[in-house]
A and B are shown apart, each in its own frame.
Chain A
C-alpha cells in the first residue's frame, strides 16, 4: 500500500491537512518502543487505498530537542519502505524558514510534493508567491493549499502520482544562500498594515496585557467547560440513566430477588428500595454511571477547549508568560503544557513529559502533576460532591492543591539535583482552528478515555465489592486507624475509598458520598485522594518514564506531603 508521509515544521497546519485527507477512522498509535504518539489514517483515490501518516512536526532533520529527535527517527523508519511519498507542508507566509527543512528533505532522494499551506493568508500579509516558478526550481509539484477552506486539496490528491525526486542540486554548506536565492526569485513582498491577529499576538505576549488576557482566557475556558459538562449531564446522560436504564435495572433487581451476592456485584445495595446510581456500587449501576454520566461529559468538554487553545497557537504564549514563575519551581514555562494535559487525565500528562529535556525537569513535572493536579474525572466528582456546600468548600480543596503545587515545587527546585534548561520556543501566529480537525482529535481522546477508563472503573467496583464481602476493607480500616483517623481525622470507613483510589480516583471520590462525612472531612478526603498516590494507569506510565528509582523517590514525596497537608487541614479547618 502506498504510504503518504506528511512532513513539515510545527504549526504549519499539518494536522488540518491530515483531517481533510483521511476518513472518519483515524488511529493514534505509539511509535515503536516509545510513548510518542502519531496519528495515521486512510484515504482512497480512484479505488486505491493509501495510508496517510501525520509525522510530528520538525524544524530540521538534525534534531535539537527530544520531541524532534523522535519525529526525525520516525521519518527515517517510514522512509525505508518502498512505495512512499513525502508531502512537505510549507507555511507560505514563512517561506524562508520552512524551506530549510525542504532542502534537507530533497537530499533524501525520495519522491516528494510541496504544499504551500495557509495560501489564503498570503494576500493579507502582502506576500505573492509564484507557484510555477517554484515548481520549475524544485522540479516537483508545488500546490497552494488552505486546509481551513479546503482550497487546493483536490489538486493535491490529483497530483499525488506526479510526486518525484527533486532535480534541485546544491552543496550542503550553501543551504541558506540557495534558500535566499529561491525566495528572491519566487516571492514578492508588499508593505502591509498590522492585522488584528498580529495586534492580538503582541498584546497577549506582553507581560502586563498578556497576564490579564491569560486570566480572561482561563476564566472563559472554565465557564465553557462547566457549561458544556453540566448541560451534557443534565440534558443527555442523566435522563438516559434515570428514564431508560433505571427501569431495566429495577426489573433485573426483581429477577435477582433484590439481594444476594450476584445482586450486590451487579446492582449493589438498594437504598430505601431504590437505585441510587452514585452510591449503590454495582457494576451496572455505579460502575457505568460514574464514568459515563458524571465524568465523560467533563472530559469531552475539557478536551474540546484544550484542543481549541492548542490549535489557535495560544499555549506557547501562556508558556512564555508563566516562565519566570515556573522557574521558581525548577521547570520552564512550556511545562505548563503537560500540567494542563494532566488536568484532563494524568496519563497523557505523564506521557507528554517526554517533551522535556532533562531528568530533573521530568521528575519535577511528573511529581507535581501526581501530587497537585487532579484529573478531570476526579474534579468532576469533587464538584459533584462538594458543589452543594458552596464555592468556599471547593476553593478549600483546589486552593490547597495549588498551594501544595507551589510549595512542593519550590522545595524540589532547591533539593533535586541536575539541570533545568531555559525556554526556547516558536511563537506561532494565531490561526483559526479547523473544526473538523478539532473534533477528530477530541474523538481520539474521548475514545481513548472510554477504552482505558471504563474497564478500570468496573474492575475497581468489582474489587471493592469483593473486599467488602470478605471483610478485608474493615480489617485494613482497623489497622490503619491511627493514620486515617488519628492524623487525617477521617472515619475508618473512608479506607475503602483510599484503596479504590489506587485504581480510579473518580470512583474513590464517589465512594465518599454514602459515608455521611462532614464538609471538613470531605475536603480533607478529596485533597488526600488527589495527593497520596497516582492512579494505577498513571503509575504505570510514570514507572516507565522515570524509572523505578525515581518513581520511588517521587512516591515518598507524595506520601509524606499528603500526611503533612492532611494533618494540617485536620488541625486548622
Chain B
C-alpha cells in the first residue's frame, strides 16, 4: 500500500508524490499551496479517523480522513 499523509507521524515531513482525487480535490489543495512536490508536515490528527491537520509552506489546513488518504507521499 502506498504511504499517504495519514501514515505520517506527528512532526514528520514528506514530499507529496501523487494526489489521487479528482479535479475538484486537486484544485482545492492547490489553492492552499499543496501540490505534487510540496513538502508536507503533519501537525496532528483527530481520533477515530478524524481530520488530519498538516502544514505546507506557511499554511496549515485540516483535511478530512477520506481526502487525506488520497494524498500519496514518497517513501522514506
A binds B: yes
Which A residues form the contact surface with B (CB < 8 A)?
59-60, 62, 64-65, 91, 93-97, 100, 176, 201-202, 205-207, 316, 319-321, 323-324, 332-333, 421-429
A422 & B31 in contact (Cβ 8 Å cutoff)? no
Contact-residue size bin, chain B (C-beta under 8 Å from the other chain): 20 to 34
How far is B50's CA from A321's CA once the two chains are assembled, in angstroms?
Answer: 8
Cβ < 8 Å to A, chain B residues 1-57: 24, 27-28, 30-33, 35, 43-51, 53, 57
On whether A427 and B62 interact (CB within 8 A), knowing A64-B31, A97-B57, the answer reads yes
How far is B35's CA from A423's CA once the two chains are assembled, in angstroms?
Answer: 18
B31 & A100 in contact (Cβ 8 Å cutoff)? yes
* Count of inter-chain pairs, beta carbons less than 8 A: 93
Since A320-B53, A332-B64, A425-B61 are in contact, a sample of 8 more A-B pairs with Cβ atoms closer than 8 Å, ordered by chain A residue number, is: A95-B58, A333-B62, A422-B64, A422-B65, A424-B28, A424-B61, A426-B32, A427-B60
How far is B53's CA from A201's CA once the two chains are assembled, in angstroms?
Answer: 11
On whether A422 and B51 interact (CB within 8 A), knowing A202-B43, A320-B62, the answer reads yes
CB distance from B55 to the nearest CB of A (A): 9
How far is B35's CA from A100's CA once the two chains are assembled, in angstroms?
Answer: 13
On whether A423 and B51 interact (CB within 8 A), knowing A94-B57, A207-B44, the answer reads yes
A60 & B31 in contact (Cβ 8 Å cutoff)? yes
How far is B19's CA from A235's CA once the two chains are assembled, in angstroms?
Answer: 60
- Nearest B residue to A97, CB-CB: B33
CB distance from A82 to the nearest CB of B (A): 30
B60 & A64 in contact (Cβ 8 Å cutoff)? no
Nearest 8 CB-CB pairings of A with B: A422-B64, A94-B58, A59-B31, A97-B33, A427-B60, A324-B50, A320-B62, A64-B28
A324 & B62 in contact (Cβ 8 Å cutoff)? no
CB distance from A468 to the nearest CB of B (A): 53
Task: Tell me which residues across on chain B come within 8 A of A316, comparing CB atoms.
Answer: 62
Task: Tell me which residues across on chain B come within 8 A of A93, comparing CB atoms.
Answer: 58
- Contacting residue for A100 out of B33, B44, B64, B67, CB 8 A: B33
A202 & B44 in contact (Cβ 8 Å cutoff)? yes
Could you pull out 30 A-B pairs where Cβ atoms are within 8 angstroms?
A59-B31, A64-B24, A64-B27, A94-B57, A94-B58, A95-B58, A96-B57, A97-B32, A97-B57, A100-B33, A176-B35, A202-B44, A205-B62, A207-B45, A316-B62, A319-B62, A320-B50, A320-B53, A320-B62, A323-B50, A323-B64, A423-B63, A424-B62, A424-B67, A425-B61, A426-B60, A426-B61, A427-B61, A427-B62, A428-B60
